[in-house]
Amino acid sequence: MTAAAHRTSGNLGTGLDILETLASAHGGLGVSEVARRLGSDKGNVHRALQALVHRGYVDQDPRSKQYTVSARVLTLARSVLHGLDLVAVSRIEMQRLSYEVGESVHLATRTRAGGVYVAQVRQPGRVSVETEIGAQPVVHATATGKALFCLADAAELDRVLADPLPAYTATTRTTRAAFEAELDLTRTRGYALDDEELTPDVRCVAAPIFDIFGDVVASIGISGPANRFTHERLGELGIHVGVAANTITHHVGGRVPARFDAHPRSPLEVHK
Helix (H, G, I), strand (E, B) or coil at 65: coil
Contact (CB, 8 A) for 144 and 106: yes
Q: Give the least confident one: 127-136, 176-185, 255-264.
A: 255-264
Helix (H, G, I), strand (E, B) or coil at 144: helix
Contact (CB, 8 A) for 205 and 241: yes
Mean of the pLDDT values across residues 150-175? Answer: 91
d(C-alpha 116, C-alpha 215), whole Å? 17
Mean of the pLDDT values across residues 14-35? Answer: 86
pLDDT score for 255:
85
Count H helices, E strands: the chain? Answer: 10, 7
When the pLDDT of each residue in the chain is averaged and rounded to a whole number, the result is 84
Q: Give the residue range(s) of CATH 1.10.10.10 domains in the chain.
A: 3-78
Q: In what order do the strands lie in the sheet with 202-210?
A: 114-121, 105-111, 216-225, 202-210, 192-195
Quick check: bond before 264 cis, omega within 30?
Answer: no
Half-sphere exposure of 39 (CA within 13 A, CB side): 0
Residue 42 has pLDDT above 80, yes or no: yes
Helix (H, G, I), strand (E, B) or coil at 82: helix
Q: Give the residue range(s) of CATH 3.30.450.40 domains in the chain.
A: 84-270
pLDDT score for 118:
87
pLDDT tens string 118-148:
889 887 756 566 677 888 899 999 999 999 9
Tell me the β-bridge partners of 203: 195, 224
d(C-alpha 43, C-alpha 48), whole Å? 9
pLDDT score for 3:
36
Contact (CB, 8 A) for 220 and 241: yes
pLDDT grade for 79, boundaries at 50, 70 and 90: low
CATH of domain 3-78: 1.10.10.10
Mean of the pLDDT values across residues 44-52? Answer: 91
Q: Give the least confident one: 125-129, 178-182, 267-271.
A: 267-271
Classified by CATH at the fold level, domain 84-270 comes out as: Beta-Lactamase (3.30.450)
**Phi, psi angle pair for 65, to nearest 5°:** 65, 15
Q: Which residues contact 122 (CB under 8 A, 6 or more apart)?
A: 98, 104, 128
Contact (CB, 8 A) for 52 and 58: yes
Helix (H, G, I), strand (E, B) or coil at 225: strand
Q: Which residues contact 10 (CB under 8 A, 6 or more apart)?
A: none
Burial 155-189 (b: 16+ CB within 10 A, else e): eebeebbeeebeebeeebbeebeebbebbebbbeb
